[in-house]
Amino acid sequence: MVSSPTVSSLRSLRPCRLGLMSAADKELKTVLNKRGYTFNTDTDTEVVAVLCKYVWDSQPTKRLNFTELIKTVIKELVRRRFH
């Protein structure tokens, strides 16, 4: 299956669609919406991309490298799905 690129509100990332959102993804999307982030699709991938942007934006004095950013995002996703 070939995924099509999706332009997210990040404008700098173009994630590919993986699938529709789970309940945990919808909850996270609601939280991010309340914090001012917008979405163009109902895909789980865009939620992860916007979460990356949120984590980046929320730490302006401590710039994470790519690996640190992804580790932080994965920890947040695991926390939300399994707790």
pLDDT tens for the 83 residues of the chain, in order: 445 444 444 455 445 555 666 777 888 999 999 999 999 988 888 899 999 999 999 988 988 999 999 999 999 988 887 76
pTM here is 0.73
Q: Please, which residues have CB within 8 angstroms of residue 3's CB and are 6 or more apart in sequence? A: 16, 17, 18
Using CA atoms, how far apart are residues 41 and 79, in angstroms rounded to an integer?
23
Using CA atoms, how far apart are residues 36 and 38, in angstroms rounded to an integer?
7
Q: What is the pLDDT of residue 1?
A: 45
Residue type, 44: D
